[in-house]
A and B are shown apart, each in its own frame.
Chain A
Amino acid sequence: VDRFITAIAATVGIPLIVLGYIRVGDALLDRLPERLHRWLRPYFWALPALAFAFVFMVYPTIRTIVISFENRDSTSFVGFRNYQYFFTFPDTLLSLRNTVLWLVFYTLGSVLLGLITAILLDRVKYESIAKIAIFLPMPMSAVAASVIWKFMFDYRPAGTTQTGTLNAAIGTVGAQPIAWLVNSTTNNPALIFIGVWMITGFCMVIISASLKSISPELLEAARIDGANEFRVVRMIVAPLLWPTITVVGTTMIIQALKQFDIVYVLTNGAYDTDVIATQMFRQLSTAGHYGRAAAVGVVLFIAIIPLLVINIRRFQQQEEMR
């Protein structure tokens, strides 16, 4: 009962506090000398947001970098030892390899499938209904999606009835059942596919919106000139979609680097499926080694820095066009 009261108090109370902050603060500022309140007012408005960003993002990021140079419980400085561990220990190197696999195949898979579905569905009358089907996994949690695919990948020993959809399907053509999530040649592709399955709808919706903005007259003119459909797509549609594809692609790269949920739920990194994010969580929770966990986090952060720069550049270009 207590929790309900706290939750309701927070839900109603916070907007009231923000309102009060604005009203009372503004009234107080009005009493100050003109020059002072002119100077102070913007900071007063931006303060709560900036404080949150600083306390929960900026400070911890700097602190994590410091912790990554310290020992297990952050009591002494150890130099690069945690990084040395990360780049020499087989388990952590494996997580690095798998994150690269995710980076390549998750990004390519989701962008390509998003592009293909957007282009194909643009040509049929039942476009909107088909889009719902492909978009459906998008609002789901990765936890629920993992449970869905746990049943798809279910494995029973050969000779018994296969209750997993995939093994039953390949059984109808006489193939032996596969332990999809255990076998180390199939499990990484299987996990990556779940990620692609979830996010393709997102890529499709964005690429499709950009596709609809291409003038139909342009395409028609090319067709009248005798270009076949593949040529139209390759020579006209693809170049016009390219800016959108790069935006979607960078978003997918960031998603790929941060992947945690699917791997954690389905294998928890076992059978050679560990990725950087699950490796870090294990160092943090199971091993309780803050220095190593922080170092893994920093490696992830360094991988994302180029994308951070790209994002800021793109933002600055947009600002110039405003």
Chain B
Amino acid sequence: MSGVAVETRPVTSQQAGTGNGIERLANRLGRLPLHVVIAIIVAVWLIPTIGLVVNSFRSVHDMTVAGWWTALFPPNGFTLDSYNSILGLEGFASSIVNSILITIPATVIQLAIATMGAYAFAWMRFPGRDLFFIIIVGLMVVPIQMTLIPILHMFAALGIAGSFLAVWLAHSGYGLPFEIFLLRNYLGGLPKEIFESAEVDGAGHAQKFLSLALPMTIPAIASLTIFVFLGIWNDLLVALTYMGSSPNRPMTVVITQAVTSLGQNWQFLTAAAIIQMALPLAVFIGLQRYFVRGITAGSVKG
């Protein structure tokens, strides 16, 4: 693990601890409270997740008679029961597939359309462009609650309520404003000269977009893909609203319904939650650099 990307900075005399041995020791001791405070914060941030991971490998009986920390000492009593049970449960196993079938197409649809629209906003002049873009910037903060009822009606009228198509379209509509905003800023920052010299060679917009703009935007699209993908994978409200009782519903909805109904399967929730968050955590650990860079780029600018 390489650690969250940080820019290095020269060590200051504070940190280097100059001077003789006694001074250095005093300096170290003076910094002890700093380390203690950090240790407490880190513990509060890590322990809940560790607790869930440990519990997911314990039997239902153990979980009800003793806390997860007792399993850290022998006899640990670790077992894969929860995972076996939850994967054997028809509703949950198919919801894993549903999550994938919702997330991938929805991500691809919106990024394809957003990139094309962002190009128009970055490199074309047309009446109303600035006004349209200000509307896009405004839409970024409009709560999706404002759209739920009319879109429910619309999906019902079109006969696609509860379908994958409905959720793909809804996610795409909600995600587009932010993506257009970010990609337009990125595309607009590309050097003008490249496009001008292509124009001299007789290239039209289609060619400039596909052979120049698109390849140069791949880094931005890649880090945006991570966020869009995780956003949809982790979504609850959209899926709950448009496919609350449909057999197509994703993991987040199935887990939520298990928690709220307090049915017989709630003990297996540990394993279910671990399965649901495995992909986001793997993406985070594997692509940390892009993740952190994407966050700072996206929000410091916008």
Given contacts A11-B108, A45-B205, contact A53 B177 (CB under 8 A): yes
Nearest-CB residue, chain A, relative to B47: A165
Question: Which listed residue, B38, B64, B101, B147, touches A60 by the CB 8 Å rule?
Answer: B147
Q: Are B48 and A128 in contact (CB under 8 A)?
A: no
Closest to B163 in A: A6
A173 within 8 A of B: no
A152 touching B48 by the CB < 8 A rule?
Answer: yes
Q: Out of B121, B145, B206, B235, which one reaches A46, CB within 8 Å?
A: B121
Bound Cα distance from A280 to B292, whole angstroms:
34
A308-B47 contact given A26-B205, A26-B206, CB 8 Å threshold = no
Q: Are B147 and A143 in contact (CB under 8 A)?
A: no
Residue in contact with B301 in the complex, picked from A15, A58, A201, A318, CB distance below 8 Å:
A318
Interface residues on B, range: 35 or more
Choice from B110, B119, B269, B277 contacting A45 with Cβ under 8 Å: B119
B233 A52 Cβ-Cβ under 8 A: no
On chain A, the number of residues with a Cβ less than 8 Å from chain B's Cβ atoms is 122
B37 partner residues in chain A, CB cutoff 8 A: 120
How far, in whole Å, are A99 and B139 apart by their CA atoms in the complex?
22
| CB of A91 within 8 Å of the partner chain | no
**With A148-B49, A251-B299 as contacts: A60 and B146 at CB distance below 8 Å:** yes
Which residue from A11, A42, A56, A300 sits with its C-beta under 8 Å from B105? A11
Residue in contact with A164 in the complex, picked from B49, B67, B113, B136, CB distance below 8 Å: B67
Binary interface encoding of chain A residues 297-322 relative to chain B, with 1 for a CB under 8 A from any of its CBs, else 0: 11011001001100110011010001
Q: With A52-B176, A148-B52, A148-B273 as given contacts, are A132 and B117 in contact (CB-CB < 8 Å)?
A: no
A104 on the B face (CB < 8 A): no
- Whether A111 is near chain B, meaning CB under 8 Å from some CB there, is no
Residues of A within 8 A of B146 (CB): 60-61, 64, 297-298, 300-301
Complex Cα–Cα for A202 and B117 (A) = 28
Task: Report how far A298 CA is from B149 CA in the complex, Å.
Answer: 12
Interface string of A227-270 (1 = CB under 8 A from B): 00000000000000000100110010010011011001110100
A133, A244, A298: most-surrounded residue (chain B CB, <10 A): A133
**Residues B164 and A147 in contact, CB atoms below 8 Å apart:** no
> Taking the complex as formed, is B126 at the interface, i.e. its CB lies under 8 A from any CB of chain A?
yes
Within 21-76 of B, Cβ neighbours of A (below 8 Å) are at 31, 34-35, 37-38, 41-42, 44-49, 51-52, 55, 63-69
Say yes or no: is A150 at the interface (Cβ < 8 Å to chain B): yes
- Tell me which residues across on chain B come within 8 A of A11, comparing CB atoms: 104-105, 108
A59 in the interface (beta carbon within 8 A): yes
B112 touches A14 (CB 8 A): yes
Tell me the bound Cα distance from A39 to B135 in angstroms: 21
- CB under 8 Å from chain A, chain B span 111-148: 112-114, 116-121, 124-126, 129, 132, 134-143, 145-148
Convert A210-225 into 0s and 1s, putting 1 for each residue whose CB lies closer than 8 angstroms to a CB of B: 1010001001100100
Residue among A136, A300, A322 with the highest chain B CB neighbour number at 10 A: A136
User: Which listed segment binds A: B6-14, B80-88, B192-200?
Assistant: B6-14
> How far is B208's CA from A26's CA once the two chains are assembled, in angstroms?
12
A149-B174 in contact (CB<8A): no
- A96 to B295 alpha-carbon distance, docked (Å): 30
A57 close to B142 (CB less than 8 A) = yes
Contacts A42-B129, A260-B237 known; A6 to B164 CB distance under 8 Å? yes
The answer to whether A206 and B142 touch (CB under 8 A), given A140-B280, A161-B66, A163-B66, is no
Contact present for A7 and B164 (CB under 8 Å): yes
| B149 near A127: Cβ-Cβ < 8 Å | no
A161 close to B49 (CB less than 8 A): no
Contact (Cβ within 8 A) A67 B150 = yes
On chain A, the residues within 8 Å of B134 by CB distance are 312, 315-316
CB-contact partner of B126 in A43, A60, A136, A300, under 8 A: A43
Cα of A296 to Cα of B105 in the assembled complex, Å: 32
Q: Does A142 count as interface, using CB distance less than 8 angstroms?
A: yes
Interface residues of A in 136-169 (CB under 8 A from B): 136-144, 146-152, 161-165, 168
- The answer for the CA separation of A58 and B135 in the assembled complex, in Å, is 9
- Say yes or no: is B224 at the interface (Cβ < 8 Å to chain A): no
Nearest first, the 7 A-B pairs at minimum CB distance are A56-B173, A49-B117, A128-B3, A141-B234, A42-B126, A45-B120, A60-B147
Given contacts A6-B164, A58-B135, A209-B300, 11 further A-B contacts (CB under 8 A): A7-B105, A22-B206, A57-B139, A113-B41, A130-B42, A139-B281, A197-B45, A264-B236, A290-B149, A301-B146, A304-B143
Q: List 23 A-B contacts (CB under 8 A).
A: A3-B164, A7-B101, A11-B108, A15-B108, A15-B112, A41-B124, A49-B118, A56-B172, A57-B147, A60-B149, A61-B142, A124-B38, A125-B15, A151-B55, A200-B45, A209-B296, A254-B141, A265-B236, A284-B148, A300-B143, A301-B146, A311-B138, A316-B134
